[in-house]
Chains A and B, each alone.
Chain A
Amino acid sequence: MLDDKAMTTRMFFREAVARAVREEMKRDDKVFVLGQDVGSFGGSYREFDGLFKEFGPQRVRDTPVAEAASVGIAAGAAAAGFRPLVVITYMDFLMIGFDALINYAAKLRYKTAGGLTAPMVVKTTAGAQGQGVAHSQCIEAWLMSVPGLTVVAPSTPADAYGLMKTALRSDGPVVFVDHKKLFPAPGDVPIAEVATPFGEAAIRREGADVTITCHSYMVRIALDAATNLEKEGISCEVIDLRSLAPLDLNTIAASVERTGRLLTLEEGQTTCGVGVEVASQVFEKIGYRPWTRVGALRAPVSSNPVLEAACVPNAARVEEAVRHLLGK
């Protein structure tokens, strides 16, 4: 077989995003980007570097700080036949665009009996990194319940690339959620133009004693915890959800049947969170198993670094929860 290593190239998370967007913009001239700092600045996280120079201001459009208008314009442009990628730098401010996204884009197919659709992608960056209560939130769970809305969250450059390609080709609307802390770590991305399908989780680590489901930056936390727990003789299976709506129930349920225990991990609030939905769907399918959920403490995430660190989950908290679940 061909050597797997030769078929990948290592790149930053932002380069993986830029590559996917560039390829899709070349492939389909209906794809365009709009958002704050996407143009000559190259993206708030430099994730659109080079696109403005290559495609020009008609297809890479800087917007003012006006999330409601930007998401609304994207929804309308999508209904009119374009494929917009609207970029919301902080997921906290996606709230301002909820009306256009949820009441219009997500419901358009239903309201028009399929006559109109909204093939738009919202790319937005979640997560805590020292910027305080309105620049730290992870609200993916709020979006998972919206009929008609697809929600995905890559944790690696390869999936940032693959999921963005799928998103820009899909019927939409899609919310693509990345995380501030994902940008520093490079990863191997296939050289071939391979898309990552929606609805497929990825088992990042195989294990026998407990299934840990997670997404986005928390995948790293889960893997760190699993490495530490192995020294205590506890074997964790870590599943990177990748796709939050739709969830890959088959992969998750099969894992929980094997391990017999579930820990759902997220950076957001556990109240009505991603984990509760994962657990409910798994137990509906295979019956109840011992389960615990780990997420942010019940407080807004402070800009104070000590309080922030106390609020969001870390490996130690996950390890403690696993031990508790195993009765140790």
Chain B
Amino acid sequence: MIYQLSVPAAVPGVEEIRILEWHGETGASFEPGDLIVELETHKAIVEVRAGQKGTLRAILAEPGDWKAIGLRLALFSDDAGEALPAVDAEAGDLLVEFDVT
């Protein structure tokens, strides 16, 4: 199954975030708790960690890019070999946890 990682509303009042750093390339697999990406808000840095096992398949925003809350950042799949749909195809949300530093 294909999942989307979208910008979490991790900090109250946040409207847009800046992508800081991806901690994996396309093809990388993540276990629950693994750090996927760091996002910068007006207040703090949000570490987005995997809440489920999955493989990163498509990165849709590069470090330095800006994205509003709720917009899609990346696509994941359960299996590395799954066929990848168009980047704007419907997808459920990837389970994530986040730490605010």
Task: Report which of A14, A185, A186 forms a contact with B18, defined as CB distance below 8 A.
Answer: A186
Residues of A within 8 A of B40 (CB): 12
Shortest distance between the CB of A303 and any CB in chain B (Å): 15
Does A184 lie at the interface of the complex (its beta carbon under 8 Å from any beta carbon of B)? yes
Residues of A within 8 A of B16 (CB): 184-186
A129 to B42, CA, bound (A): 15
Given contacts A184-B13, A184-B14, A184-B16, contact A13 B42 (CB under 8 A): yes
Tell me what chain A mostly uses at the interface: helix, strand, loop, or mixed. Answer: loop
Q: Which of A10, A13, A14 has the most CB of B within 10 A?
A: A10
Residues of B within 8 A of A12 (CB): 18, 40, 42
A184 to B14, CA, bound (A): 6
Chain B: which residue is nearest A14 at the CB level? B42
Kindly identify, within residues 2 to 46 of chain B, every residue whose CB is under 8 Å from any CB belonging to chain A: 13-16, 18, 40-43
A185-203 Cβ-contact flags toward B at 8 Å (1 or 0): 1100000000000000000
A185 to B66, CA, bound (A): 11
Chain A: which residue is nearest B41 at the CB level? A184
A181 to B15, CA, bound (A): 11
Does A205 lie at the interface of the complex (its beta carbon under 8 Å from any beta carbon of B)? no
Shortest distance between the CB of A47 and any CB in chain B (Å): 10
Contact A185 B43 (CB under 8 A): no
Shortest distance between the CB of A298 and any CB in chain B (Å): 27
- Chain A positions within 8 Å of B, measured between CB atoms, are 10, 12-14, 45-46, 129, 181, 183-186
